Structure 1
Amino acid sequence: MKFWGLTIKVNPLFLLVFFLFFLLDMMAEALVAFGLVIIHEFAHLIMAYSAGYKVGRIEIFPFGGMAEYSGFLEMEPWQEIRVALAGPVFNLFFALLLYLFLYSGLLKTNHYLLLLLQYNLLIGIGNLIPALPLDGGRVLRAFLVRSRGIKRGNELAIKISKYFAISGILVGIIVLSLGKANLWFLFFFFFIYGMINKEEKQLLYYILQYLSRREDFNRGLKIRELSGQVVDGSLPVKEAIYYLNPVKYSLFYILDLNSNIIGIISESRLLSSYFGQKDKELLMKDII
């Protein structure tokens, strides 16, 4: 469905969870959860718009959503962190305000307000878990990409995310075996693990998309910090692209067998060589 030009897609898994709530006679809980997930995603959207980005599509999952942004959000880690944190911060701030109103007596406690308080806390805290595709995982990935580069940063973020998901599944199984059933907790971490595997399968596509858009991003900048790296001339171009600094413009100083500098390759030259040549076995010394 479309709302103000924004395409909103509801994932079938969300509909399944909604149906389970219906069978369990928990429609009030389902409506509160659905409403808060939508508002949570709009908090991301508002922050993205304020930073100059547009959102074309949002897909709603049982525990949050995923948005597709136009522009170059992935090129600017600090902006991505701001956008990622907007959702959980909204939920936690809303929960704090609600608690203060209830505690002070300005609002009379009832079942629906307590549901609102509880679900805001669950969505806010749950999304801060540092595991993809949760908001905490996006923050983690942005930090790692900034410090380790696009490929190694993403790979490490996926590895850490898997540790958290597997740990959550194990805790859920242990709790279940002790007779303290919490199937939602277990379902949540199984869902996260499945989404991490999906992210891992799409990683190469994500990296190539990032690299293909990087030249357009560079053209829009009037000034940028410089990053210099010294590499062996026998390093394949297809490997060198992963050493691009995500927040600086990269220059590569090419060495021969005697460790003498035989040339300098700019980031633009590297990317045009990679995407413009059919021979993907090119070495750095071949494109000087």
Structure 2
Amino acid sequence: MRNFRVATIWGIPIKINISLLVFLPVLAWLIGSGTQIETYAGVVGALAGTELDLSVLRAGSTPWLIGTLAAVGLFASVTLHELGHAWAAMRYDLEVESITLWILGGLASFKQLPREWNRELAIAVAGPITSILTGVGCYAALLVLPDSAPVLLFVVGWLAVTNIILAVFNMLPAFPMDGGRVLRALLARSRPYASATRIAARVGTYFAILFAVFGVISFSPLLLLLALFIYGAASGESRTVALADLLEGLTVGDIARPTRLTVDADATVEELVDLMFAERATEFTVTQGGEVVGVVTVADFRELSTAQREADTVADLMLTDLPRLDAAMSAFDALVELDTNRATAALVESAEGTHVVSREDFSSAMEMRRLAQADGPF
């Protein structure tokens, strides 16, 4: 979904997802209506050492004002929470690509997460610590606000309580939430990073199921959405770490294949079919004037009729918008590049010339590494 850049802090783009823009009015209504004001008025009054007049808080459009201020304040608090993660990461010279606010809170995107358990631990706890400090700051402000400003008292007091709840909730070991990352960091002290990730992801999956059950029982769409997010993110990160582990130490040049089987771009598809039968191969590199220009596979012409195969050339079918990668690029980064470009193959430039690498090559390399369990390329 679309994101809108609204600010830049410490060189980090702060973005708002469109889901948040849709959800903010709903959140404002939820806070300003129902039992929210009634429930929190007593708590805030106790914290402030005064009694809030419910009739004033419910009068006219005041509930909407309270809901709007509280909703905006909540996501400002979430931004501070994510900036806490970002500050800790930047202390380790890690690049923070962006912070995105969306319907379920905030996401700080890092170019690369550290594998050192102590660094991940520090980055993970920095967010909840920031939320606690924000809550304490709101409580301090609550003590100095005049009793003649009941709306402001309520909103600041509500934010004080909510930030503490936010910190506690985020420390649940539901990977990839902060508590789940803390769990992985602690597990990684005594076991391989991939193994620690698998265990933390499994715990996160259990929490996702728990959230889904409570979401159904309480008719809470947000809990169900959170359950789906945790389940998907935990599974996805577990797979990503497993892939990175299998490809560790490999460059894309180690995996790429020399362009041994080539076909000219001007050849007809029928000629290509004959060549595939002769060579017992289903994929060819396409050349034009001696230069590699693309890749063609059996899937590209499978649906063509006999007449089309005789009339069309390889140039009409080949994949040409392939990423061009340097042979020294790490294999994992190259695989990410393929995913980013939604490409099935890439051209790899090296001192020996242009080679080709496909998703099947990555799969074969990872299977060989898994079976051999070797530190070298294969």
Candidates 19, 43, 47, aligned match of 2:84: 43
Partner of 1:58: 99
CA gap 1:170/1:81 in 2 versus in 1, 3 angstroms: same
Q: Which moved more, 1:84-93 or 1:52-61?
A: 52-61
Structure 1 residue 7 displacement after superposition: 2.9
Match of 2:227 in 1: 193
Q: Is the Cα–Cα contact under 8 Å of residues 133 and 195 in structure 1 kept in the other structure?
A: no
- 8 Å contact kept, 1:74–1:210: no
In the TM superposition, what whole-angstrom CA distance separates every residue of 1:217-264 from its partner, at most 9, and x where no partner exists?
A: xxxxxxxxxxxxxxxxxxxxxxxxxxxxxxxxxxxxxxxxxxxxxxxx
Question: In structure 2, what is the Cα distance between the partners aligned to 1:279 and 1:131?
Answer: 29
**Does structure 1 retain, via aligned residues, the 8 Å contact 2:208–2:228?**
no
Matched, 1:93 2:133: yes
Counterpart residue number, 2:256: none
The residue type equivalent to 1:93 in the other structure is L
TM-superposed deviation, 1:50? 1.6
Tell whether the 8 Å contact from 1:59 to 1:67 is kept in structure 2 after alignment.
Answer: yes
Equivalent pairs counted in the alignment come to 219
1:15 is matched with which residue: 21, 26, 35?
21
Look up the equivalent residue of 2:115 and give its one-letter code. Answer: M
The answer to whether the 8 A contact 1:32-1:115 is kept is: no
Shift in CA distance, 60/146, structure 1 to aligned 2, threshold 3 Å? farther
1:281 Cα deviation from its structure 2 partner:
3.4
5+ residue gaps, structure 1: 177-182, 217-273
Distance 1:62 1:124, change over 3 A: farther
Q: Which residue of structure 1 lines up, in the alignment, with residue 114 of structure 2?
A: 74
Alignment partner of 2:82: what SS? helix
Residue 126 of structure 1 aligns with which residue?
169
The equivalent of 1:151 in structure 2 is 194
Q: Would you say the 8 A contact 1:11–1:61 is kept in 2?
A: yes
Look up the match of 1:280. 367
Give the C-alpha shift of residue 121 in structure 1. 1.6
Aligned partners of 1:285, 1:201: CA distance in 2, in Å? 23
- Report the Cα distance in structure 1 between the residues aligned to 2:373 and 2:160, rounded to whole angstroms: 61
Counterpart contact for 1:75–1:214, Cα < 8 Å = no
Contact 1:158 1:196 in 2 (8 A): no
Higher normalized contact order (CA 8 Å, seq sep 6+, divided by chain length):
1
Deviation digits for residues 123-158 of structure 1 (CA, Å, limit 9, x no counterpart)? 211211111232111111222344332333222212
Q: How high is the sequence identity, in percent, across the aligned residues?
A: 26
Paired AA for residue 41 in structure 1: E
CA gap 1:279/1:165 in 2 versus in 1, 3 angstroms:
closer
Q: Note if contact 1:54-1:69 (Cα within 8 Å) is conserved in structure 2.
A: yes
2:373 and 2:140 map into 1 onto residues whose CA distance is 65
Output aligned runs, 1:108-187, within 5 Å.
108=146, 110-174=153-217, 176=218, 186-187=220-221
More divergent stretch after superposition (51-60 vs 162-171): 162-171
Counterpart residue number, 2:243: 208
Residue 13 of structure 1, CA deviation: 3.2
The structure with the larger Rg is: 2
In the alignment, the residues of structure 2 paired with residue 51 and residue 107 of structure 1 have an alpha-carbon distance, to the nearest angstrom, of: 39
TM-score by length of 2: 0.50
Q: Which amino acid aligns with 1:17?
A: F
Q: 1:32 to 1:211 in 2, by over 3 A?
A: farther
Q: CA deviation at 1:276?
A: 11
* 2:135 alignment partner AA: A
Find the aligned partners of 2:12 and 2:227 in 1 and give their Cα distance. 28
Distance 1:169 1:204 in 2: 22
Gaps of 5+ in 2: 31-63, 148-152, 252-360
Shift of 1:42: 0.9
